[in-house]
Amino acid sequence: MAAQNDAGGHLSAVPSPEEQAGLERFNALIAEDSRIEPRDWMPEAYRKTLTRQISQHAHSEIIGMQPEANWITRAPSLKRKAILIAKVQDEAGHGLYLYSAAETLGTPREVLNEQLLSGKAKYSSIFNYPALSWADMGAIGWLVDGAAIANQVPLCRASYGPYGRAMVRICKEESFHQRQGFEILLELAHGTEAQKRMAQDAINRFYEPALMMFGPPDGDSPNSQQSMEWKIKRFSNDELRQRFVGMIAEQVKVLGLTLPDPELRFDEEAGRWVHKDLDWDEFKAVIAGNGPCNAQRLERRREAHENGAWVREAAAAYAAKKAQKAQVA
Amino acid sequence: MAQPVATSPTEEGQRHDGAAWPLWEVFVRSSRGLSHVHAGSLHAPDAEMALRNARDLYTRRNEGVSLWVVASEDIIASDPDAKGEFFESPQGKDYRHATYYKKSEGVKHL
Amino acid sequence: MDHSLDSYGDATASATRVTPGNALRPEDIAIQPERPSQAVARYAVRLGDDSLILSHRLSEWVSRAPELEEDVALGNIALDLLGHARSFLSYAGLAWGKTEDDLAYFREEEEFRSLHLVEQPNGHFGVTIARQLMVSIYQDLLYAGLTGSTDNTLAAISAKASKEVAYHRDHAVQWTLRLGLGTEESARRMRHALEILWPYVNELFLDEPLHDELGDAGVRPSALKAAWEREIAAVLEEAGLEVPQTRAALCKGRQGEHSEHLGYILAEMQVLARKHPGATW
User: What does the pLDDT look like over B11-35, one tens digit per residue?
Assistant: 333 444 557 899 999 999 999 999 9
Query: With contacts defined as CB-CB under 8 Å, which chain C residues touch B37?
Result: 12, 14-15
ipTM: 0.93
> Which chain B residue has its CA at the smallest distance from A94's CA?
B57
B8/A103 CB distance under 8 A: yes
Does residue B23 sit at the C interface (CB-CB below 8 Å)? no
* Confidence category of residue C249, pLDDT binned at 50, 70, 90: very high
Mean pLDDT of A77-89: 97
Does residue A28 sit at the B interface (CB-CB below 8 Å)? no
Sorted by where each starts, the structural domains of chain B and their CATH numbers stand as 23-76 (3.10.20.520)
Longest dimension (CA), chain B: 68
Across the interface, of B40, B60, B75, the residue whose CB is closest to A100 is B40
Does residue C3 sit at the A interface (CB-CB below 8 Å)? yes
Q: B66: part of which helix (H) or strand (E)?
A: strand B66-71
Secondary-structure class of domain A23-328 per CATH: mainly alpha
Does residue A173 sit at the B interface (CB-CB below 8 Å)? yes
| B 34-93 residues inside an 8 A Cβ radius of C | 34-35, 37-39, 42-45, 48-49, 52-53, 56-58, 60-64
Question: Residues C179-220: pLDDT tens digits?
Answer: 999 999 999 999 999 999 999 999 999 999 999 999 999 999
Does residue B12 sit at the A interface (CB-CB below 8 Å)? no
B42/A100 CB distance under 8 A: yes
pLDDT for position B18: 58
Number of H helices and number of E strands within chain A? 13, 2
**Smallest Cα distance from B61 to chain A, Å:** 9
Name B29's bridge partners: B36, B66
**Smallest Cα distance from A90 to chain B, Å:** 9
Mutation for C interface: B49, B51, B69, most C CBs within 10 A? B49
Domain residue spans of chain C: 33-275
Q: Are C247 and C201 in contact (CB under 8 A)?
A: no
**Smallest Cα distance from A21 to chain C, Å:** 28
Question: Residues A6-57: pLDDT tens digits?
Answer: 444 444 567 888 889 999 999 999 999 999 999 899 999 999 999 999 999 9
Does B68 have pLDDT greater than 80?
A: yes
pLDDT for position C219: 98
pLDDT for position A220: 87
Question: Residues A232-286: pLDDT tens digits?
Answer: 988 999 999 999 999 999 999 999 999 999 999 999 999 999 999 999 999 999 9
Question: Residues C28-65: pLDDT tens digits?
Answer: 999 999 999 999 999 999 999 999 999 999 999 999 99
pLDDT for position C216: 97
Q: What is the DSSP letter of A169?
A: H
C-alpha–C-alpha distance, residues C235 and C243, integer Å: 10
Across the interface, of C10, C59, C125, the residue whose CB is closest to A168 is C10
3-state class (DSSP) for residue B18 = coil
**Does CATH number 1.20.1260.10 belong to domain C33-275?**
yes
DSSP chain C: -----GGG--TTGGGS---------HHHHHT-SPPPPHHHHHHHHHHHHHHHHHHHHHHTTTT-SSSHHHHHHHHHHHHHHHHHHHHHHHHHHTTTT--HHHHHHSS-GGG----HHHHS---SHHHHHHHHHHHHHHHHHHHHHHTT-SSHHHHHHHHHHHHHHHHHHHHHHHHHHHHHHS-HHHHHHHHHHHHHHGGGTGGGG---HHHHHHGGGS--GGGGHHHHHHHHHHHHHHTT-----PPPP--BGGGTB--THHHHHHHHHHHHHHHSTT---
Does residue C29 sit at the A interface (CB-CB below 8 Å)? no
Question: Residues A160-195: pLDDT tens digits?
Answer: 999 999 999 999 888 899 999 999 999 999 999 999
* Confidence category of residue B4, pLDDT binned at 50, 70, 90: very low
The larger pLDDT score, comparing residue C14 to residue C118, is at C118
